[in-house]
Structure 1
Amino acid sequence: MSGEGAEETAATTEDETAERSETGADRRKPVVVVVEPETPGNVGTIARAMKNFGLTDLKLVDPPELKEDGEAYGFAGHAREDVLPNADEVTFDEVVANYHTVGTTAITGEDDRSHERFPFKTPVELRESLKTVDAPTAIVFGREGRGLNNEELSRLDEVCSIPADEDYPVLNLGQAATVLLYELRDLTVGETQLPDTEVTRAPENDVERFHDFFDDFLASTGQRDHVREKNALLMRRLMGRAHPTEREIHTLLGTFRKANTKLEHADRLAAKYDEPPYPRDP
């Protein structure tokens, strides 16, 4: 192969790789399918949840009429601008034929004798599973009153159920979609409105200074040695679990520095005027 031809082939390969890389995240974003929704308001609520969590592709199987001045658009929020008007009407067969499908259900099989509804994943388990699926995926919700039936579930690839109180595990359709899409947000949302929550633990020398100040505080309050040792250990365990930030530990250092200074001053005044020291344990 000539050098020019090799360069063209290499460039084409790089372009294809870049395209796959750019669209990989989009391919992992599932479409949302609602089978025979009965209430336009629930369709609007689902569209709004999709907008909240970075999804845009809504597909409806035998939906009711969705009027622009009706309940669906009223419940959709900003999703009325794109998600809802761009929703596609499809058949159940088309969904099964073109997507890796996840059916949702409130009622599950308790063991492997119920093949239609068992095994099932929780939303968190589904999120981790879908991270490995590089294929068009559809999250399929059923009817408000009856959900997906066993025949429909048997044609889908996976089953997901939201853990809830066993006395009343059935969520409203819009609520169920919101909960599930929230749990899948790592697959659908690059950034959120929340700031970075990663924190850095305070330097260990500052943490040790705090423990020294706390020991001085315990001594100034006149606690017996064995009580002081126990309290100091409890504080060390507490701080070990808390992973305080630098700002938090400096705030505590300032507080205990002032407390120790006042206790020392009180002891000096008591000695000067021959008064009882700070109350101590009998």
Structure 2
Amino acid sequence: MSATAAAGGLRFRRPSAVPGFGPAFGIAATGVTLLVLAPLAALVLRAAGQSWGEFAAAAFSPRALAAYRLSFGASALAALVNLVVGLLLAWVLVRYRFPLRRVADALVDLPFALPTAVAGVALTAICAPDGLAGRVAAEFGVKLAFTPTGVFIALLFIGLPYVVRTVQPVLADLEPELEEAAALLGASRWRTVTRVVLPALAPAAAAGLALAFARSVGEYGSVIFIAGNVPMVSEIAPLLVVVQLEEYDYGAATAIAAVLLAASLVLLAIGAVLQRRLEREGAR
């Protein structure tokens, strides 16, 4: 064995405060395989068992394409809005002290704890034509519930915590002295934000954006109540998978699910690459 290999082996076997790397790694790998990789592999194999014609007819039908456009379009728009709102909310929660701040901080996690069906019913009650927000919007000729706008509102609700909770700890570790030093050196507030604060938060913000987007693409429970679920208009892709399953068309369901899986993996990979690139630029 060469000296380099031996050194690598020594680094790999470096003592740890918590012993038992082998068993721990084996249990973790087994859990990930059984709970994550095996179901995804079964989905891919089931979709691959179809001919290309059958797969394309189901996965790229006009109805499926309309569902993709709504799911990915609304998810992207909601994630971008949540990025801006989440950054501002995280800034307020970290940098300011005000009454009921802890209550406001706890409410950020409400979409995590609230069952998605309950969230969908609550949003529908507010945005329906006879709801509080629905009546106000109707005066301006806007219909919120049972339209693609309702889908967008639901995705805003469930995606915001991902941005806030990703950015908040990084912002808490960002020393205010950096901003004060920039101000002492003559930088304006806008220049301080764009040259000091945002570059430090960019990797976390990119991760939060990717998580919010991926979560929104797969959202089902909170959307179906407020969307209206009209094919070609307000039908999301996850609902179309359920519709195909209810019609016992398992091939079409797995084909659409495989497209969603592939798109989600690609988006998460892009988010990871973007986050790493921003981290490298920030370290320079």
Q: Give the TM-score normalised by structure 1.
A: 0.22
Q: Which has the higher helix share?
A: 2
For the pair shown, which has the larger CA radius of gyration, 1 or 2? 1
Q: Give the TM-score normalised by structure 2.
A: 0.21
Q: Which has the bigger relative contact order, CA under 8 A and spacing at least 6?
A: 2
Q: Which has the higher strand share?
A: 1
